[in-house]
Amino acid sequence: MTRRAPLRGDELPEIVVPPPGPRSRAAAKRLRRVEGAAIWGSDPVPIVWSRARGSVVEDLDGNRYIDLTSGFGAATLGHAALEVARAVAAQARRLTQGLGDLHPHTMREKLVRKLSTLGGALSRVLLASTGSEAVELALKTAARATGRRRVVAFEGGYHGQSGAALEVTHFPPSPDILKPADPPRATHIPFPDTARCAVRRPCAKCDLACLERGWETVERECRGPDPPGAVIVEPIQGRAGVIIPPVEFLPRLREMARATAMLVIYDEILTGAGRTGTFWAWERSGPSGEPDLMTAGKGIGGGVAIGALFGRPEIMEVWVRHVTASGESPYASTYYAHPLACAGTLAAVERLTSAEVRESVQKIGRMLESEMPVRAGASPRVLGAMGAIDESETTARLRESLHTRLLANGILILPGGLTGSTCTLLPAFTMMEPQLRHALQTITREAASP
């Protein structure tokens, strides 16, 4: 077998066989025979990734792609980032599994101390293995602090696929059999979206009328027998199609929540770690938008599986009152603060907080704003290294057609949005300028094709 040249991470696309090629097809077929259907969508023949470096992915057939997904936004420093790979490899020679809540290890101490410096007033941290688990922790903490289990969430919001996280998720909707019994955990109200105004008004500049009207429902529930104790929101809705609310939204929401004695939880799992230009997306709203609790994940790990909950000390310390009679901690997980994840995340965070990375994100944002295709009635939505463009057609069939055409040209994007007609771009912060320019030119050309 011919030895493959190492990937550098700065290559442009190269398609040697129309994707998915025969090796990808065969591997996908073998996998599908033994894997449960829950993880498979309507496309039975995806490409099968073989290796990746930087913003380049190579499939089993030797096709190379520019990756504008960064692994659902997790590989913020690019695939196989050198500092993350080195840290994980070194840690694997020292300690690969700890005792969760029972005995801490040194890497856990280093990571938690580092993260605690990034949350401002939210200086207490709990770790998780996934973003969904971090959301569960936030909801449990809020319930213990307020004595109220119910929350306010937003239409179009996505917070994960497990337990309580799924209950507060609005999009995609849960199957009926998985929906919680009455009363539901979450009351969903409209999210500010100028393209789909909930109060059907011209919204060249959103005045938050949708929030004011939705909050009337919240106030009624606050007077009921089972009032909500917290509000959870994405500062920018990601899975719904990069919906960017006005900067006044979060401060106004916090003001309204305070008036009804509710805690404010921000889900920064996708938008955190510098994705939008500031380290946390909420920071663009200023100090008056600061939350009580905040979840993080995906990008803070630079490609390793990690989640975290940040909170104000007086709220996070509520768990002290719930230590078990045996003296065990009130929260535990076998893989809590997994040593390999802690090592990789610590290395990633050191670089993610650098001026170099922040400047790179700002440069990517300027390129996305200036070079993403503009369609009639559908301007691109961009904030930092996060962008989306709606297609002029909204059927899933045509969306898949564009996705397939881009794949054939060596470009990986995330199709989605509320109507299935949005192309979402989440490039790694380290993507090279020629790669991004080539990708955007290809998207512009293919989006204009009949």
CA distance 212 to 193: 14
Q: What is the mean pLDDT of each run of 10 residues along the chain (450 residues)?
A: 83 97 96 93 85 98 98 98 98 95 94 98 97 97 97 96 92 75 87 78 75 94 95 97 95 97 98 98 97 98 97 96 86 94 98 97 96 75 94 53 90 89 94 97 86
- C-alpha 130 chain-centroid distance: 11
Phi, psi of 263 (to 5 degrees): -80, 155
* Structure letter (DSSP) for residue 337: T
> How many other CB atoms are found less than 10 A from the CB of residue 298?
28
- The residue among 201, 430, 183 whose CA lies nearest residue 299 is 430
The predicted pLDDT at position 163 comes to 87
Read off the pLDDT of residues 12-29 as tens digits, 9 standing for 90 and up. Answer: 999 999 999 999 999 999
Query: CA angle at residue 130 from 128 to 135, to 5 degrees?
Result: 75
Confidence at residue 392, expressed as pLDDT on a 0 to 100 scale: 59
Which domains does the chain carry? 22-80+355-447 (3.90.1150.10), 84-352 (3.40.640.10)
Q: Which residues pair with 294 in a beta bridge?
A: 266, 310
Give the tokens for residue 366. Answer: 């300027």
Longest dimension (CA), the chain: 71
Q: Name the nearest CA neighbour of 431 among 443, 444, 422, 440.
A: 440
* Residue 376 burial (10 A CB sphere; 0-12, 13-18, 19+): exposed
Residues 291 and 62: their CA atoms lie apart, in Å, by 46
Sheet containing strand 49-53, edge to edge, reads: 49-53, 56-59, 64-67, 411-412
Instruction: Give per-residue pLDDT as tens, 60-111.
Output: 999 999 999 999 999 999 999 999 999 999 999 999 999 988 899 999 999 9
pTM for the predicted model, two decimal places = 0.95
pLDDT at 191: 96
Cα dihedral 7, 11, 12, 14, rounded to 10, equals -30
Mean pLDDT, the chain, whole residue set: 92
Token pair 């990690």 is found at 306
C-alpha distances out from residue 203 to 115, 206, 284, Å = 38, 5, 21
Residue type, 271: T
